[in-house]
Structure 1
Amino acid sequence: MTALRAARSTDAGKVGAILTEFVATTDWMPQLHSGAEDIAHAGQLITRGWVTVAEVEGDVIGFAACDGEDLDALYVARSQRGQGVGTALLHHLQKERAVLKLWTFQANLAAQNFYLKHGFVEQERTDGASTDEGLPDIRFQWHKGSL
């Protein structure tokens, strides 16, 4: 059974590894950071208090990083995708907030479908000129009661 909890500093390695795995297994995503940089970034998000992890039997299998209304990241380990982990993390955040906003890449059709299924509405699209990756993206927003 999946359990959710606030991330601890000792989770940075696993959270960073989930980020690294996503980039390594996504053909359209450029690799801009090393695994060590992903772990350091995860540590910063955890230190800020933004990260909730999903775990099974003590193993971190997914995480969400949220700063107020801004959903900065939601990733699930590849072996655990499609099993409700992302939905559990998102529902946890939706219970605590009236509004959630996020950006996802236009190439990430799975993420777009996931967020649309959970009541998010597209707000705008960009050409990606302002992203580190240089990829076109989409801003989505969700309001409590919109489901």
Structure 2
Amino acid sequence: MTALIRPARPTDAGATGEILHTRLEEASPGQGLYSGAQAIAFCGQMIGRDWVRVAEHDGAVQGFLAREQGYIHALYLAPGACGAGIGRRLIEDARRTRDQLRLRVLSANTGARRFYTRLGFAETDRGDGRDNDENLPDIGYEWRREAT
């Protein structure tokens, strides 16, 4: 799947919020971290801060990455978009302007942990969940551009 990576527009809040809500529900069934409306509002705030880049295919948002400077707040893909290289392309896009990227992943999210490790991110620390919205153990990761 070939996707166009572009800056998010305010009108993308609905699609990105739906992706976020769907993925959070899959990751934490029954926890109800955010309602659909809250996820859309949250994505709208990130878009308003110019943090979000989306991957679009055939006019539909297939994924998004929200980044503030070198910190990745969110990377989520639409159901069916995993394995198509979209996540990798969003990370590559973020790397174009940064020498270092940091993020946190829930410890239980083994798929994401493998994904970031494959892309050269290294574990930096572990948390007990006190500092995240989910109150679940997490792991910090960092990528640094190699000196040339």
TM-score when normalising by structure 1: 0.95
Alpha-carbon shift at residue 28 of structure 1 (Å): 6.0
Compared with structure 1, are the counterparts of its residues 141 and 10 closer, same or farther at alpha carbon in structure 2 (3 Å cutoff)?
Answer: same
Q: State the Cα deviation string for residues 82-110 of structure 1 (Å, max 9, x = none).
A: 11010000011011110000011000101
Runs of 4+ residues over 6 Å off in structure 1: none
Any gaps of 5 or more consecutive residues in structure 1? none
Cα distance in 2, alignment partners of residues 2 and 68 from structure 1: 23
Compared with structure 1, are the counterparts of its residues 29 and 126 closer, same or farther at alpha carbon in structure 2 (3 Å cutoff)?
Answer: farther
Cα distance in 1, alignment partners of residues 133 and 30 from structure 2: 11
Cα distance in 1, alignment partners of residues 30 and 146 from structure 2: 33
Task: Report the AA paired with residue 124 of structure 2.
Answer: Q
- Does residue 11 of the first structure (1) align with residue 12 of the second (2)? yes
Task: Report the AA paired with residue 46 of structure 2.
Answer: L
Q: State the Cα deviation string for residues 34-64 of structure 1 (Å, max 9, x = none).
A: 0000000000000000000000011001000
TM-score when normalising by structure 2: 0.94
Task: Report the AA paired with residue 142 of structure 1.
Answer: W
- Which residue does the alignment assign to 1:64? 65
Q: Structure 1 vs Structure 2: percent identity of aligned residues?
A: 40
What is the total number of aligned residue pairs between the two structures?
146
Alpha-carbon shift at residue 15 of structure 1 (Å): 0.2
Q: Which moved more, 1:125-134 or 1:72-81?
A: 125-134
Task: Note the aligned Cα RMSD (angstroms).
Answer: 1.3
Q: State the Cα deviation string for residues 109-129 of structure 1 (Å, max 9, x = none).
A: 011001000010100001112
- Does residue 124 of the first structure (1) align with residue 105 of the second (2)? no
Task: Report the AA paired with residue 105 of structure 1.
Answer: L
Task: Report the AA paired with residue 80 of structure 2.
Answer: S
Cα distance in 1, alignment partners of residues 39 and 145 from structure 2: 32
- Does residue 97 of the first structure (1) align with residue 98 of the second (2)? yes
Compared with structure 1, are the counterparts of its residues 89 and 144 closer, same or farther at alpha carbon in structure 2 (3 Å cutoff)?
Answer: same
Any gaps of 5 or more consecutive residues in structure 2? none
- Which residue does the alignment assign to 1:106? 107
Cα distance in 2, alignment partners of residues 119 and 71 from structure 1: 15
